[in-house]
Amino acid sequence: MPRTRILKVDPEHPDSAALEQAAEYIRAGKLVAFPTETVYGLGANALDPSAVSAIFCAKGRPPTDPLIVHIADFSQLREITREVPPAAESLAHHFWPGPLTFVLFKSALIPPQVTAGSEKVAVRWPSHPVAQALIRLSGVPIAAPSANLFGHISPTTAEHVYADLHGRVHLILDGGPTFIGLESTVLDLTTAPPRLLRPGGIPLEALRPFLGDVTLGLSYQSESAVAESPGQMLRHYAPQRATLLLFEGEGAPLLLTMQKVAQEYQQQGQRVGILSVDEEQQAFSLPDAEVISLGSRHDLEAIARNLFASLRKLEEKGVEVILARTFPREHLGLAIWDRLYRAAQGRIIRV
């Protein structure tokens, strides 16, 4: 097992010496965890089959779940795909670098380990300065899923990465908390109309003016199935040591139901955590319950940024059951809903 090193880097003006060390690791076929604007990624040379296989081994990720390839220049997209359709050029002009992933037909440069044997590859150009500099200095595209154990809550700090992967990754670049906190939006541009395979940092509503018709291709499948893109398993982004229950409803009935269920679990001797919002936090006056606010219910960006870190905080506090409310499935709320639904493995209590 490798000894895990941590190098701190300024997220806005990263130190070139630290990044060059990380790039040497990538070129040598080793694993490097690094910050992106969405979550921390576990990176390896996307053109090296052995290095890519090491990602799956480190995470405990099934080989049926493909990876996203990260690039630092639009010209790299032409090298690792067969063709770049006009829609990709238009969207890239407006949203790249940023949290938008394209699914396109891959070129022969991309080994099958990256794509789970598919002829399609997921690609994005991240906007985080550390990610961009690492890819440029490495001189190769970098395959990188989230830097956590498979199925666990995605990491938004270097501490989260270390908690999951120390002894499994060679180097962690610590660039502080990520800016967005949810993974990228994944858009399949090989079909007509295009399909949204995963909601993320770019809302569907922002894409429609450039695409016209878009279909929802969200999938909630078992680990044994071959996924079209990352983030399609039903159980994903989930606490390891706690059960998450998701509540759907509004107003007093929702809050009263959540409080009643929390009390029932406490009476059974279980520690309870509650994910709330600022406007509803005072409704949960349960003794010994761990209550965390994600922010104002009207500030979806703050809720997205805080979601994974708050789930990890409740897990660290030793809760056995986590209660959370759903959010409207529009704009960034669709991505938040999707992550909570998967974390709850589809368990929804409708009030």
Rounded to whole angstroms, the Cα distance separating 98 from 88 reads: 13
CA-nearest of 33, 181, 202, 31 to 102 is 202
Does residue 225 form part of some domain?
no
- CATH assignment of the domain containing 61: 3.90.870.10
1-5, 63-67, 107-111, 201-205 — which is least confidently predicted? 1-5
Does residue 209 form part of some domain?
yes
Strand partners of residue 275: 292, 324
CA-nearest of 74, 22, 31 to 56 is 31
CA-nearest of 46, 190, 186 to 105 is 190
Does residue 206 form part of some domain?
yes
What letter represents residue 338's amino acid?
A: D
Give the CA diameter of the chain.
60
32-46, 209-223, 262-276 — which is least confidently predicted? 209-223
Does residue 162 form part of some domain?
yes
Cα 338–chain centre separation: 11
Mean pLDDT of the chain: 94
Residues 211 and 247 in one domain: no
Q: Which of 197, 216, 235 is the last residue of a domain?
A: 216
Rounded to whole angstroms, the Cα distance separating 49 from 344 reads: 34
Q: What dihedral angle (degrees, nearest 10) is formed by the CA atoms of 66, 70, 76, 82?
A: 20
0.85 exceeded by the pTM?
A: yes
What letter represents residue 34's amino acid?
A: F
Strands 243-248 and 348-350: parallel
User: Residue 240: is it exposed, middle or buried by C-beta count within 10 angstroms (0-12/13-18/19+)?
Assistant: exposed
CA-nearest of 58, 61, 53, 65 to 164 is 58
Whether 105 contacts 119, CB under 8 Å: yes
What share of the chain in percent tops pLDDT 90?
Answer: 87
Residue 222 scores a pLDDT above 70: no
Residues 160 and 77 in one domain: yes
Does residue 269 form part of some domain?
yes
Residue-wise pLDDT for 171-196, tens only, equals 999 999 999 999 999 999 999 999 99
Residues 88 and 198 in one domain: yes
Residues 256 and 177 in one domain: no
Q: Which of 216, 231, 257 is the last residue of a domain?
A: 216
Average the pLDDT over 130-158 and give the result.
Answer: 97
Whether 242 contacts 319, CB under 8 Å: yes
pLDDT at 212: 82
What letter represents residue 169's amino acid?
A: V
User: Residue 17: is it exposed, middle or buried by C-beta count within 10 angstroms (0-12/13-18/19+)?
Assistant: exposed
Does residue 202 form part of some domain?
yes
Residues 25 and 122 in one domain: yes
What share of the chain in percent tops pLDDT 70?
Answer: 98
Residues 190 and 279 in one domain: no
Residues 194 and 251 in one domain: no
Q: Which of 200, 216, 232 is the last residue of a domain?
A: 216
Number of domains the chain contains: 2
Does residue 233 form part of some domain?
no
CA-nearest of 161, 199, 198, 157 to 300 is 199
Residues 265 and 331 in one domain: yes
Bond into 97 cis (ω within 30): yes
- CATH assignment of the domain containing 258: 3.40.50.11030
Q: What six digits make up the tokens of 102?
A: 């394209």
Q: Any alpha helices (H) in the chain, and if so which ranges?
A: 16-27, 49-59, 74-80, 86-95, 112-115, 129-138, 158-165, 204-211, 251-267, 300-316, 332-343
- Full domain range(s) for residue 328: 243-350
| Three-class SS state of 32 | strand
CA-nearest of 155, 152, 151, 131 to 143 is 131
Q: What six digits make up the tokens of 118?
A: 């598919």
Residues 295 and 253 in one domain: yes
Residues 204 and 279 in one domain: no
Residues 112 and 171 in one domain: yes
Residue 232 scores a pLDDT above 80: no
Does residue 235 form part of some domain?
no
Residues 199 and 344 in one domain: no
